[in-house]
Amino acid sequence: MAVPPSPDPKAPEHLDRVVTVPNAITAVRLACLPIFVWLLLVQDDEAAAAILLAGLGATDWVDGYVARRWDQVSSVGKVLDPVADRLLFFVAVVSIIIAGAAPLWFCLAVLLREIVVAAVTLVLAAMGARRIDVTWSGKAGTFGLMFAFPLFLGGASDLSFADLFQALAWIAAIPALALSYYAAVRYVPLGRQALRDGRAARAL
């Protein structure tokens, strides 16, 4: 008996799936966001909030890896995953600002970069630009920031080694912020090329 071929991950019916393991992982990460806010702003437990935020940051790549490894890429996931990442990032940083657990200038610098990049991305998409792949500097910057903010929270806690967390936070924060702004500048020529490519593809 012939073995039926595996489903083509690029086929429309394959991409239209909603209930997948990666989408479930993303949903769980989003469900943890109110818990983080509650721990930080209601319970005033910076240490527990730091642990949860570090876990959410460390698992940022899991849903994408599972989707690619087991051919569970979906149209919903392609939209949900980056939206969830940005939502987690924005809510976490704003909550940290409210709690006063990290330097205000640093938090505002991070938020400003994220807002500008998000706005430009939406404008380019509306103008028909193709998708822009994340650069290594952008990935490295985000990775560093996802370590810096939990460390700042640890530094603001009543743990006996809070001073060590504070020092480690700055070691991660400054290079990460520099890399994130370098990536933003690099996206300028990439965005122009993506717009040209998108318009050329529509003209065919």
Q: What's the pLDDT at 9?
A: 46
For the segment 11-20, the average pLDDT, to the nearest whole number, is 55
pLDDT of 73 above 80: no
pLDDT of 41 above 50: yes
Local structure of 133: helix, strand or coil:
coil
Q: What's the pLDDT at 105?
A: 97
Q: What's the pLDDT at 1?
A: 39
116-173 pLDDT per residue, tens = 888 888 888 888 877 777 778 888 888 899 899 999 999 999 888 899 999 999 999 9
Local structure of 5: helix, strand or coil:
coil
- CA pseudo-torsion sign 25, 136, 15, 193: positive
The highest-confidence range among 15-19, 81-85, 106-110, 128-132, by mean pLDDT, is 106-110
Local structure of 156: helix, strand or coil:
coil
Q: What's the pLDDT at 80?
A: 65
Top-confidence residue, 143 or 41 = 41
**Crossing angle for the helix pair 21-37 and 46-58, nearest 10 degrees?**
160
Burial (CB count within 10 angstroms: exposed 0-12, middle 13-18, buried 19+), residue 156: buried
DSSP 43: S
- Is CATH 1.20.1550 correct for 12-199? no
And the tokens for 146?
């996802």
Q: How far does the chain reach from its first CA to its final CA, in angstroms? A: 43
Q: Considering the entire predicted model, what is its pTM? A: 0.81
Task: Domain ranges for the chain, please list them.
Answer: 12-199
